[in-house]
Amino acid sequence: MADLVNLTIDGVPVAVPKGTNIVDAAKRIGNDIPVFCYHPKLRQVGMCRMCLVEVGTPRMDPATKQIVKGEDGKPVIAWMPKLQTACTTPVSEGMAVRTQTPQVLAARKDILEFLLTSHPLDCPICDKGGECPLQNLTLAHGPGMSRFEYEAKHHDEKHVPLGDLIYLDRERCIQCSRCIRFQDDLADDHVLQFHERGRNMEIVTLSDPPFNSFFSGNTTDICPVGALTTADFRFKARAWELQGTPSLCTHCPVGCNLTLNTRLETHTGGYEVKRVMPRQNEQVNEIWLCDKGRFVHHFTRAADRLTHPLLRNAGGTLVESTWEAALQRIADRTLGKPITGIAGDRIANEDAYLFAGLLRTVASKGSLISMAPAMATYYADLARAYGVGKDTDFNQLGKGDVILLVNGDLEEAAPVWFLRLRQAVVTRGARLIVANDHTTKMHRYAGQTESYQLGNAANWASTRAAVLAEELKGARHLLIVFSDEKLSTSGVRSLAISLASVLVQSGHAGKSNSGLLPLYPHGNTQGVSDMTSPQPWPDRAEAVWLIGVGEGEGVPQAPFTIVQDLFQTRLAEQADVVLPALSFAEREGTFTSGDRRVQRFYQALPAMGQAMPDWWIVQEVAKRLGATWNYQNTAQIFTEISQHIPAYAGLSYEAISHTEDQWPLVGRGDLYYGGTVYDNTGGLGLRYPADAERADFHADVHLDTPPEVTIEAVQRVRRRLYEDGELIRRSKVLAAHIVNSVTEVPQAA
């Protein structure tokens, strides 16, 4: 427990950890001291003066060095002659603070009056209107009138693009520097700066391309006015028209918590996602999102979504059909024949569980289930066994801890983990060791770097495992982050075994804040592996059924193929039956993040056409193959998962929907303090224990000799955040950012 400091704020006693500032101390007792430049996640700068308060400390007798007491026996307070900025003043023992005196109230009025002299007051057309700290604080604390000439206002050309994702309205900017501090201090992208002085001071972008950062959307959340808006949302809706539904991002292993803001569109008569906002989860994404998670959502209402089942007719053409005809065709063609099922790693746990059940217990003997990408089949079991301990909290990583990052580009593969683990290193002093065949952004913060030739991560790790383990014995905690990129299947198995051995031999296996952290390609790679215990897929099969596989490479050839997806993908073009599935935004379910947190997402949009949830489709086929299933919803399936998948024992929708107050308190009426991040009403999720945490676990049970690593002379791709794909291609704002993955040919060392 940190040392506590006692003080009073407007006479109310409060005890807070040493080092807390007055704004945060007041917040803990529900006293909202207005702020503009201060943000609880950013460095304090004391620039706006909105938080002025009266501060006093106990009077000390200079002779005796004792606190002077009054007649009432209480310490006499010596009030400072001038108002103090509450955001930059740390609390001290016995301090007294006054936040409601005439001087304080007058100062707030004056500051607002000054701020508004250069503000355009164009609230009716401003995207921030309705959720603007400046608007709200002016109503609460501002003067009713201005003594300044309205005509003398500063005028600038409006809406200057700061890059293609973010627009700047210079006359709305109150020069608080929150955007600059976020980009400099948290993202380490030095892309924004102030230019000029006084009234002419404005935000400019320094980078080429402009505002070059994966995290730019966060600045629009924390900007306390409508100076920064996104190209995605500007002029699209008013804040009060939007409904907010808790959801999850599926585009990388972090599992960021989102709120989908939707609205009924009169021109189409349907609901649409108007914007994606962060939802606070201090254990997952805090209050941040990367730009992919924020701007990729357009696929949910893309005009080319599959809306009807399709059947290949006698002439060889895919034609629209009814569900009944499509399901019956599948039953007719697969009854008595083995089916090879391949589950994509963005489908929900409930879908994957039923799919595995169908293939193992309903479909004909010889059926099997695999997953795409196939690579995950070779190491997800090791991540489950040696993954981070159940109570791991990245916010606690710091001095004495070691983060070992092998073969992965953390920022490209898991952007919000980049933000969080970088903080552990640069702010809290964790030691970072990076091993890779090329330089990544994380190399900037590494205390030690190791390199190997392209494609040789596994060989490097097996050679170094024993030495590493010895060196890392003294670490307080050991987090090992790794990726499968550019490896062969034997390579990734070998790498995961070597890294798990480092954990075991250095004494960190099964401990909190320690363990493997795989940089999986998508948001439910771990969950789909947990649900299916996937087998490698064969080259050929009698019937193949692909669910959510997208453009999966190298899927088996078969005389009969079913593709279940959102779009008419290249694979769907070849299929005999195409089944339209609902997107994550149109249904409920759970995903399991790369650090094994099981989280819920909820329905935000109505169904597209006749598309159905994956689990429903699987059940309808199962029934036609003879099963007596009768699942009504995902909650019922999850209950069964908790009974049949040992790692999920004890989990329930109720438990993972649990929410509680998180610090900092943001997201409710607290726009002025934390920004437009949403409160978490959907659940904080729960991480299930790694196998290595279980009492009956034998630490080296999975650690068979690493397989002989074949350095295949095939091209392996380096994973990129904006890698081309079916979903990002349909984002109106991200399309210009798409990169083709760098393909490289590994060589033997």
Length of the chain counted residue by residue: 749
Task: Compute and round to an integer the Cα radius of gyration of the chain.
Answer: 28
Q: Is 290 in the site for ligand SF4 (CB under 6 A)?
A: yes
Label residue 714 exposed, middle or buried (CB < 10 Å: 0-12, 13-18, 19+): exposed
Q: Is 686 in the site for ligand SF4 (CB under 6 A)?
A: no
**Which residue of 26, 53, 95, 179 would you call a contact of ligand SF4, by CB under 6 A?**
179
Instruction: Kindly write out the interface string for residues 381-400 of this chain, putting x where it contacts ligand SF4 by CB under 6 A and - elsewhere.
Output: --------------------
At residue 586's C-alpha, the angle toward residues 287 and 277, to 5°, is 20
Q: Is 46 in the site for ligand FES (CB under 6 A)?
A: yes
- HSE value, Cβ hemisphere, 13 Å, CA-based, for 493: 18
Q: Shortest Cβ distance from residue 179 to ligand SF4 (Å)? A: 3
Q: Which does 416 bind (CB under 5 to 8 A by kind): ligand SF4, ligand FES, none?
A: ligand SF4
d(CA 217, CA 291): 6
Label residue 614 exposed, middle or buried (CB < 10 Å: 0-12, 13-18, 19+): buried
Sign of CA dihedral 731, 715, 368, 255: negative
Q: Shortest Cβ distance from residue 284 to ligand SF4 (Å)? A: 8
* Strand arrangement, sheet containing 271-278: 243-248, 257-264, 271-278
Q: Shortest Cβ distance from residue 111 to ligand FES (Å)? A: 9
Q: Which does 289 bind (CB under 5 to 8 A by kind): ligand FES, ligand SF4, none?
A: ligand SF4
Alpha helices in 202-315 (DSSP H): 217-222, 291-295
Site stretch for ligand SF4 (CB under 6 A), options 221-229, 512-520, 686-694, 701-709: 221-229
**Which residue of 23, 111, 227, 577 would you call a contact of ligand SF4, by CB under 6 A?**
227
Site stretch for ligand SF4 (CB under 6 A), options 248-256, 342-350, 361-369, 668-676: 248-256
Contact residues for 696 (Cβ-Cβ < 8 A; gap 6+): none
Q: Is 115 in the site for ligand SF4 (CB under 6 A)?
A: no
Q: Shortest Cβ distance from residue 53 to ligand FES (Å)? A: 10
User: Measured from the CB atom, is 175 or 642 closer to ligand FES?
Assistant: 175
Q: Is 35 in the site for ligand FES (CB under 6 A)?
A: yes
- The DSSP output letter for 571 is H
Q: Shortest Cβ distance from residue 252 to ligand SF4 (Å)? A: 3
d(CA 154, CA 156): 7
**Which residue of 26, 53, 83, 87 would you call a contact of ligand FES, by CB under 6 A?**
87
Contact residues for 613 (Cβ-Cβ < 8 A; gap 6+): 348, 351, 581, 582, 586, 587, 589, 634
d(CA 32, CA 27): 6
Site stretch for ligand SF4 (CB under 6 A), options 252-260, 388-396, 512-520, 632-640: 252-260
Q: Shortest Cβ distance from residue 405 to ligand FES (Å)? A: 36
Q: Shortest Cβ distance from residue 202 to ligand SF4 (Å)? A: 9
Instruction: Kindly write out the interface string for residues 647-676 of this chain, putting x where it contacts ligand FES by CB under 6 A and - elsewhere.
Output: ------------------------------
Q: Is 87 in the site for ligand SF4 (CB under 6 A)?
A: no
User: Measured from the CB atom, is 28 or 49 closer to ligand FES?
Assistant: 49
**Which residue of 35, 107, 223, 571 would you call a contact of ligand SF4, by CB under 6 A?**
223
Are the C-beta atoms of 486 and 371 separated by less than 8 Å? no
Q: Is 50 in the site for ligand FES (CB under 6 A)?
A: yes
Sign of CA dihedral 548, 551, 553, 558: positive
Site stretch for ligand FES (CB under 6 A), options 45-53, 337-345, 614-622, 680-688: 45-53
Q: Which two tokens stand for residue 267?
A: 């021109």
Rounded to 5 degrees, φ, ψ at 166 are: -130, 135
d(CA 193, CA 214): 17
Q: Is 90 in the site for ligand FES (CB under 6 A)?
A: no
Which amino acid appears at position 144 of this protein?
G
Q: Is 37 in the site for ligand FES (CB under 6 A)?
A: yes
Contact residues for 341 (Cβ-Cβ < 8 A; gap 6+): 355, 356, 358, 359, 367, 368, 369, 370, 544, 545, 547
Q: Which does 47 bind (CB under 5 to 8 A by kind): ligand FES, ligand SF4, none?
A: ligand FES
**Which residue of 47, 60, 237, 655 would you call a contact of ligand FES, by CB under 6 A?**
47
Q: Is 85 in the site for ligand FES (CB under 6 A)?
A: yes
User: Measured from the CB atom, is 180 or 621 closer to ligand FES?
Assistant: 180
d(CA 82, CA 693): 56
Q: Which does 475 bind (CB under 5 to 8 A by kind): ligand SF4, ligand FES, none?
A: none
Contact residues for 453 (Cβ-Cβ < 8 A; gap 6+): 437, 746, 747, 749
Rounded to 5 degrees, φ, ψ at 570 are: -55, -40
d(CA 550, CA 564): 9
**Which residue of 9, 51, 425, 546 would you call a contact of ligand FES, by CB under 6 A?**
51
Q: Is 459 in the site for ligand SF4 (CB under 6 A)?
A: no
User: Measured from the CB atom, is 37 or 318 closer to ligand FES?
Assistant: 37
Pairing mode, strands 431-436 and 597-601 = unpaired
**Which residue of 16, 22, 95, 203 would you call a contact of ligand SF4, by CB under 6 A?**
203
Run of H or E residues at 15 = strand 12-17
Q: Shortest Cβ distance from residue 37 to ligand FES (Å)? A: 3
User: Measured from the CB atom, is 83 or 578 closer to ligand FES?
Assistant: 83
Q: Which two tokens stand for residue 405?
A: 């990052």
Q: Give the binding site for ligand SF4 (CB under 6 A).
A: 173-179, 203, 223-225, 227-228, 249, 251-252, 254-256, 285, 289-290, 292-293, 414-416
